């Protein structure tokens, strides 16, 4: 693999001129929070599938609600994970 010479970035295309304030905020279905934290789930890659014939731990980036910790199902779907939502959010319970 070779490094490509640095190309100037294309000037803003009209389709990318999205005004953030014109768009709907995504809020947590559970608590209505607007903020999300970056979090990871780990996938174990079997030695049979691994290029090094050793088990690999592969992090998959996700976002969880900064308020209640819930990972919205839509984020799970977009990450291509088939993890059950209940499983991910199992530990997130109100403890008073």
x/- letters, 46..75, toward Zn ion (CB under 5 A): -------------------x-xx-x-----
CA distance 92 to 67: 11
Nearest approach, Cβ of 95 to Zn ion (angstroms)?
15
Start-to-end CA distance of the chain, whole Å, equals 55
Nearest approach, Cβ of 69 to Zn ion (angstroms)?
7
Q: If binding is defined by CB under 5 A, does position 33 make contact with Zn ion?
A: yes
Residues 6 or more apart in contact with residue 42 via CB below 8 angstroms: 57, 58, 59, 60
User: Which residues would be at the binding site for Zn ion (CB under 5 A)?
Assistant: 28, 30-31, 33, 65, 67-68, 70
């Amino acid at each position: 693999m070779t490094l490509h010479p640095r190309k100037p970035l294309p000037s803003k295309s009209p389709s990318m001129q999205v005004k953030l304030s014109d768009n709907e905020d995504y809020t947590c279905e559970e608590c209505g929070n607007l903020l999300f934290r970056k979090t990871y789930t780990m996938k174990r890659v079997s030695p049979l599938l691994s290029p090094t014939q050793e088990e690999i731990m592969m992090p998959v980036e996700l976002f969880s609600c900064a308020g209640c910790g819930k990972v919205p199902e839509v984020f799970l779907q977009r990450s291509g994970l088939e993890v059950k939502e209940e499983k991910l959010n199992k530990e997130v319970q109100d403890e008073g």
